[in-house]
Amino acid sequence: MEVSSILPSTRYDPNGTLVCGSDVHSFFHLPPPSPTLTQAHPITGEKLPLVMGHEFSGTIVELGKGVDTGRFAIGKNAVVDPVISCMQPTCGPCTSDKRNVCPHTTFVGIGGYGGGLAEYIAIKQEFVHVLPDSVPLDIGALIEPLSVAWHAVKVSTFTPGDSALIIGGGPIGLLVLIVLRAQDASWVGISEPTIQRRETALQLSASAAYDPRTTDIAAETFKATSGGAAVVFDCAGLQVSLDTALQAVRPKGNVVEVAVWDTNPSLDITTLQRKEALLTSSQGCNREHPEILQAVAEGKLHGLNDLITKRIRLEDLMEEGIQTLIKDKDRQIKILVHPDRNAMIPPRFILSTLAFALGLGLTAYGAQQTFSWMSEYPDLYEASIAELQDGLKRGRFTSVDLVKAYLARIDEVNINGPGLRAVLETNPKALEHAAELDKERAASGIRGPLHGIPLLLKDNIATRHEDGMETTAGSWALVGSVVPGDATVAAKLRAAGAILLGKATLSEWANWRGEVPSGFSGRIGQCTNPYVPLGNPSGSSSGSGVATAVGLAAGSLGSETDGSIISPSSHNNVVGIKPTVGLTSRAGVIPISEHQDSVGPMCRSVADAAVVLSAIVGRDPLDNYSLGQPEVAPDYTQALQKDGLKGARLGVPRKVFEGMNADTIIAFNAALDVMRGLGATIVDPADFKAEYDYDGIWKRENNVLCGDFKVNIEQYISKLVKVPTGVKNLTDLIAFNTANADKELIEPYWTDQSTFIKSEKTPQDKAYFDALAFDYETGRANGIDGALKEFSLDAILIPTNKASRPAAIAGYPVISVPLGFQPPDVVLPEPNPTRASGPNMPFGIAFLGTAYSEFNLVKFAYAYEQATKTRLKLRAYPEAIPKTQLKDVIGK
């Protein structure tokens, strides 16, 4: 069959090929069904190597046989609709003029048929459109991405006068803005984290441009539109952008998915259904070029030229094109490639150069689909341990740089700024230790995934005296005391290569002094929540939760007796793991109770928590409770399986939910649906055998804890090398506080030490041992173990604020992951001295299991977290987020 064709060329009139983010993505990972080195594309029949470029314009230099000379002429400028579809008579989309959804669809420059970076290209005439005389070639190169935006608006329910929100201010998002303005939108807001693109959006007449890291996009949209946007265009393709779109759209509005997704998201079907909103997908374009060219020629689309942020020669494609989009993506939108006729690269050289680069990219990185070197420095607010380790491995920054950046971030918000008071003190030798670990990395490699990673420790975890840090449980009574050495968990972190960056604030004496607000300690004052100004951070691992939440370290350690890891993790939107009592050693940790104390990680993700947990578990002769654990501890990172919930049976003990906040229950029930969708069986209800009277259980638990504390704290103090204040036991601590009331018993909120006084009077007598037996029976046989056995469960699910007590009295593990946030319209109460609730206050969901079931709990929690990514849906309030990033300290 003879193919009628047009041969556009760049030989005489300058043409342009745009380089954009999709080119960068395709350069390193061609999407299926793209050709490979060994497999041809099913339509084009071409394999790699191929010439790239799908957004281009050019000049017609030759007409093939049968071309319509009434439409086309040599010397005319033209653009190409690059969509390639199968056009088979058996293909429904192709035969119904919907070729953009043909299952074999590809593009010129991606699937074959040449590309805009070729010297010449032959194209069927039906895909070529002559540019109006008033439209220059540079703007012609923008027609293809403009067609994607045009199509997205076209398939939406948008009509002139409607309001619209755009999520993602990349090239397509900005082009959607231009189209909406041309079609008389009444209000167009845009959500975009980079300031340069927000400024560009405002120049293009956006009504508002929001930073999603510091702004509640849905709330602002509701204010501006009196009830939500009529249409929301998601041009970001992230779980958080989809969730925001569903929150921001008005009832009976339209959410349009424009972005190309790398992973399948979870869909909040409850919100979608409650609003009777329409969810629409938009795929590329479908023969809209003629109407777009007419609109451009008539001057209806303003600001197109502003989107071309750089012009380069073909020979500079790699350095000034691809690499610039990688390294300077915030400022670059579209880069126009012009041929330089005086230094024209021969076609064969273009082919061979691109073929080599494509082959290298696919071989080295194609399987991972993530290229950390392509990104800028990781955002320290959210940076994972793996991201940091990858940057260290590639030499993009050092551990010294990390320590400098984290110290600067602490300085911004800890005492200064909002005064979060999350970090009690920093390690004077942190930079020295970082430099040593950098040298070790260069000389002999890394010890493991924590090599050179800065972490914070709760201030009840001992660190060797020579570092220059105190270990005080937040109390002036132990200031200046000398510990015999690192706590076992601290020593394990050092051995793993971690940098002990400092000590995190805690509720003084792990919240065991008296009725005192969570997060207060005499040494630093009141720690507060980064999501609600003056909000309750919970405790007692308050600072560990707050510091981790806003990126003052890569992660932290906390300790829990009853709720002190999982509760502040829940309140501060992080992940917390309280291990089985004895899985992690308590040697060198200021105690409350040998029967219930446990040390565990508090991190921004389940993956990070698994890394830290793997480093600190193991038997320790200094803690006899640790000797009961399995001889070989598992590598918990092996539990990080996205399908980890498939086949799991999880139970819900509904009777413990009494008095729970309605918003929490709604979010919890939605989470159950997510888990069902991930393959889990939910047994609901699956109640404990024991009646969970929390007050009654607490009376017995409190008896045990009081009896333990009196004995355990005296044992801890007796092992100290030096105690300048002279305290030796609980009686001395009570007296010290009374004598130093100006520093410890501070009016009006922090005066109480009734728990100390009660503990001092509680003997380890028959009532104590009866209470201990009751705890074990209620928490185990009549609690967690009983429910697991009766309902054949793998784990138990409870909202975090009701989850700690069953696990605490049993001595069993529990993991909390982010579940949701209080609604933005919740009344903000007056602080007293902190706020117990408020708009955007986070809350979590907990996974509980039997002794040493951490591996399965990590697996379940990770699968849920990856499907929902709730932590990413809201950031802390703006003043609580430090500004310092790695780029601010490198080389300084």
Q: Is the pLDDT of residue 598 over 90?
A: yes
pLDDT score, position 634: 92
Task: Give mean pLDDT, residues 500-519.
Answer: 97
Do residues 802 and 726 both lie within one domain? yes
Do residues 335 and 455 both lie within one domain? no
Q: Up-side HSE of residue 160: CA atoms within 13 Å toward CB?
A: 3
Q: Up-side HSE of residue 479: CA atoms within 13 Å toward CB?
A: 15
Mean pLDDT over each residue of the chain, to the nearest integer: 87
Reported as a pLDDT band with limits 50, 70 and 90, residue 569 is very high
CA distance 252 to 9: 49
Q: Residue holding tokens 């590809």? A: 106
Q: Which residues are catalytic?
A: 458, 540, 564
pLDDT score, position 331: 65
Do residues 253 and 343 both lie within one domain? no
Reported as a pLDDT band with limits 50, 70 and 90, residue 49 is low
Which residues, 6 or more positions from 360, have their beta carbon under 8 angstroms from its beta carbon? Answer: none
Are residues 816 and 845 in contact, defined by beta-carbon separation less than 8 angstroms?
A: yes
Q: Is the pLDDT of residue 183 over 90?
A: yes
Q: What is the pLDDT of residues 217-276, one digit of tens each?
A: 999 999 999 999 999 999 998 898 999 999 999 999 999 999 887 678 889 999 999 999
CA distance 170 to 499: 37
Q: Which helix (H) or strand (E) holds 355?
A: helix 347-365
Assess if residue 577 is contained within a domain: yes
Q: Is the pLDDT of residue 319 over 80?
A: no
Q: Is the pLDDT of residue 286 over 90?
A: no
In the three-class reduction of DSSP (H, G, I as helix; E, B as strand; rest coil), residue 79 is classed as strand
Reported as a pLDDT band with limits 50, 70 and 90, residue 7 is very low
Are residues 100 and 285 in contact, defined by beta-carbon separation less than 8 angstroms?
A: yes
- Among 19-28, 347-356, 840-849, which is the least confidently predicted range? 347-356
pLDDT score, position 110: 64
pLDDT score, position 9: 33
Do residues 602 and 505 both lie within one domain? yes
Reported as a pLDDT band with limits 50, 70 and 90, residue 75 is confident
Do residues 669 and 687 both lie within one domain? yes
pLDDT score, position 819: 98
pLDDT score, position 265: 87
Assess if residue 458 is contained within a domain: yes
- Among 138-152, 423-437, 717-731, which is the least confidently predicted range? 138-152
Assess if residue 303 is contained within a domain: no
pLDDT score, position 316: 64
Do residues 290 and 315 both lie within one domain? no
What is the widest separation between alpha-carbon atoms in the chain? 104
Which of these three, 243, 267, 297, is where a domain ends? 297
Rounded to the nearest 10 degrees, what angle do helices 606-616 and 385-393 cross at? 80
Do residues 740 and 704 both lie within one domain? yes
Do residues 136 and 159 both lie within one domain? no
Do residues 755 and 783 both lie within one domain? yes
The helix/strand count (H/E) of the chain reads as 28, 29
Q: Which helix (H) or strand (E) holds 200?
A: helix 195-203
Do residues 668 and 751 both lie within one domain? yes
Assess if residue 116 is contained within a domain: yes
Reported as a pLDDT band with limits 50, 70 and 90, residue 67 is confident
Give long-range contacts, CB 8 A cutoff, 24+ apart: 758-763.
758/702, 758/706, 759/512, 759/705, 759/706, 759/707, 759/709, 759/710, 759/730, 760/710, 760/730, 760/731, 760/734, 762/703, 762/706, 762/707, 762/710, 763/707
Query: Alpha helices, DSSP H only, in 572-693?
Result: 606-616, 662-677
Overall number of domains in the chain = 3
Q: Is the pLDDT of residue 114 over 90?
A: no
Q: Residue holding tokens 């986070």? A: 842
Do residues 482 and 340 both lie within one domain? no
Q: What is the pLDDT of residues 749-798, one digit of tens each?
A: 999 999 999 999 999 999 999 999 999 999 999 999 999 999 999 999 99
Do residues 83 and 48 both lie within one domain? yes
Assess if residue 888 is contained within a domain: no
Which of these three, 297, 321, 339, is where a domain ends? 297
pLDDT score, position 318: 62
CA distance 892 to 887: 10
Q: Is the pLDDT of residue 716 over 80?
A: yes
pLDDT score, position 43: 66
Give me the CATH number covering residue 356.
3.90.180.10
pLDDT score, position 64: 79
pLDDT score, position 129: 85
Which residues, 6 or more positions from 363, have their beta carbon under 8 angstroms from its beta carbon? Answer: none
Helix, strand, coil abundance in the chain, percent, nearest 5:
40, 15, 45
Which residues, 6 or more positions from 724, have their beta carbon under 8 angstroms from its beta carbon? Answer: 479, 480, 481
Give me the CATH number covering residue 169.
3.40.50.720
Give me the CATH number covering residue 570.
3.90.1300.10
CA distance 28 to 356: 11
Assess if residue 332 is contained within a domain: yes
Closest CA to 790 of 685, 691, 679, 860: 685
pLDDT score, position 354: 25
Which of these three, 297, 326, 345, is where a domain ends? 297
Q: Is the pLDDT of residue 12 over 70?
A: no
Assess if residue 378 is contained within a domain: no
Residue 276: CB atoms within 10 A of its CB come to 9
Query: Where in the sequence is the domain holding 609, given as residue range(s)?
Result: 385-880
Are residues 258 and 153 in contact, defined by beta-carbon separation less than 8 angstroms?
A: no
Reported as a pLDDT band with limits 50, 70 and 90, residue 4 is very low
Assess if residue 887 is contained within a domain: no
